[in-house]
Amino acid sequence: MGSLSKAFRALGDPTRLRILKVIAAARLNVGEVVSLVGVAQSSVSHHLTKLKALELIREERLGSYTYYSLAVDKASALWPLIELTRASEDTHGDQARLSELLRRRDDVQTLNEKLLEPGQSWQLWSAALSTLLPRLDVVDFGCGTGTLTIELAHWAKKVTAIDKSESTLARARAAAAREGLTNITFLAADLTDLPMPAQCADLVVSSQSLHHVEDINAVLAEGARLLKSNGRIVVLELFPHDEAWVKQRLGHAHLGIAPEVLEEAMRKVGLEPFVQRVPWARGSQSPFKAFLVTGTRARKTPGRSKAA
């Protein structure tokens, strides 16, 4: 009861209440909170310290920034206070500014992902080579917002684009619609357990998707299962690196993958690999370098079969 009473007294300060309200909606750093509530950083830091002392918010370090997020869940005695805070009137327009801030943040993250995404540099090559390629049934593992999917669809017979995020797939669908493409099927699914029949694809591509999943072998096994006889999987991956921030910021499960690890994993699922270890990087100082691996399906590939 004492902690609840202290929390109510602390939130008698209108600025502190505004700060808790925006943090209850999104994880924010000090600079972002300052931009939303429009008071001095020293004052914001003071209010954040008070809220943290009351265990209403938590602090975490990500890269060079300290972020604050809600530390209270529905099981806490303080949860009714959070609900009252969220329901309080937004007389200063903080929520509108928060929506714009999150939109800009999403744009920046998308840009970061694009800068790390060698698939972006394939667009001109894809267009130039499309007239030389056969019309194949293609599966795109971890399609994201559809950049590579769209390039594949320009020459493929059909493309099945797979991602676990419905919101990301919605953006991919919108991008495909803008291009007028009708040969893409979008599928929200776990790459380790796909609701697709065996031997349905001529080509499986994975452009920097494997470092997002815990079980690399399971994903490659699904790729092998989907391939027709003599079908091929093409994987673009990052060499191992030390940029640990990508786990929190971009959701990476692995800090790159060693080529020999990927090569051995392919062999285990019945794929005959060819590893191209020529480094690719956005710039000479970039810590992110990529390599290309292709694997051809053996005549007998281990793994379960699934009905169509």
All structural domains of the chain: 2-96 (1.10.10.10), 115-297 (3.40.50.150)
Burial of 282 (0-12, 13-18, 19+ CB in 10 A): middle
Ranges of residues in the chain with a pLDDT under 70 are: 1-11, 62-64, 105-133, 275-285, 298-308
pLDDT for the residue 303:
47
pLDDT for the residue 125:
55
> What H or E segment, with its residue span, contains residue 10?
helix 2-10
Distance CA(215)–CA(52), nearest Å, equals: 37
Tell me the pLDDT tens digit for each residue of 182-205: 999 999 999 999 999 999 999 999
Distance CA(43)–CA(258), nearest Å, equals: 47
Distance CA(78)–CA(208), nearest Å, equals: 42
Q: Supply the pTM of this predicted model.
A: 0.58
Using alpha carbons, select from 86, 88, 92, 79 the residue that is nearest to residue 37.
92
State how far the alpha carbon of 95 is from the alpha carbons of 6, 48, 68, in Å: 26, 18, 17
pLDDT for the residue 278:
54
Distance CA(222)–CA(204), nearest Å, equals: 10
